[in-house]
Amino acid sequence: MSPLLPSNASAIAKLASSHPSLLNVQDQDGKTPLHLALDFAVRTYDTAPAEALLAAGADATLLDNAGNNALHILSPGLFPTQATRDLFAKLATTHGVAINAQNLLGLAPAVGAFSQPTSANYTSTANRDLFPRLEMDFEPFAPDKARAFIKDVCKFLTDLGADLQILDHEGRGLLHHVGGGASNYWFFYRKTYFQALMEIGFDPFAEDKRQRTAVDVAVANGDREVLALFGKDGGKAGK
């Protein structure tokens, strides 16, 4: 399936009306047109194609071959705009997409909001040329504002019923994924994420099945700013 273009929402509605059997066709990766439209919304902030497919009757509960549902796919887009949050809430409430469903790796949708390695979508020169508004959206927040924004996303998720303490199949929690993901694309430093999540009760020293803490994972990923939060030796980190 080809990526959707910003001008395609009206064409999608007409095509779906004429050929409703195409709405839920899955490609070789198990992706439906809605899945691709949600990925497009993450990359461009344009939710119109996804909204058009939902209005036409697309099944929002279908999974791709990796076990991802619609919320897994849209979750990396929760930070930039209200439109993506509104669509996420609609999928979880109106369309019955399970907010705590785990994919084949045991990842719940909430993980994607903080650590999915999609930063290339936002930081590559090519994509900035295609979507110049991203330059403005990438202005760094002051640390206090950034932490408040992260906490706001957490509240948004929990208000919808998300369990942010779900562990994946390797015993890793949300902080492990923050520490081990690509450079977080909104606030530049993982330290900001760690501070915000710790302030609302996340434990940076909880161990996964390999006895690694989230701090261990961050340091192994080359980020010593996180280690600095816990003093010279990182507290309990670096076992």
Looking at residue 231, its pLDDT comes to 72
Superfamily of domain 137-239: Ankyrin repeat-containing domain (1.25.40.20)
Centroid of chain to Cα 183: 13
Burial group, residue 35, by CB count within 10 angstroms (0-12, 13-18, 19+): buried
- Residue pair 153/232 in contact (Cβ under 8 Å)? The answer is no
- The predicted model scores a pTM of 0.83
- Is residue 126 predicted with pLDDT exceeding 70? no
Per-domain boundaries in the chain = 1-98, 137-239
Looking at residue 147, its pLDDT comes to 85
Average pLDDT of the chain? 82
Mean pLDDT, residues 146-165 taken together: 93
Looking at residue 61, its pLDDT comes to 98
- Neighbouring C-alpha atoms within 13 Å toward the C-beta of 62: 21
Split at pLDDT 50, 70, 90, the class of 189 is low
Of 169 and 12, the one with more pLDDT? 169
Residue type, 197: L
What CATH number is given for 1-98 in this structure? 1.25.40.20
CA distances to 90, 150, 192, 193, 204 from 199, rounded to whole Å, are 29, 11, 11, 10, 11
- Is residue 237 predicted with pLDDT exceeding 50? no
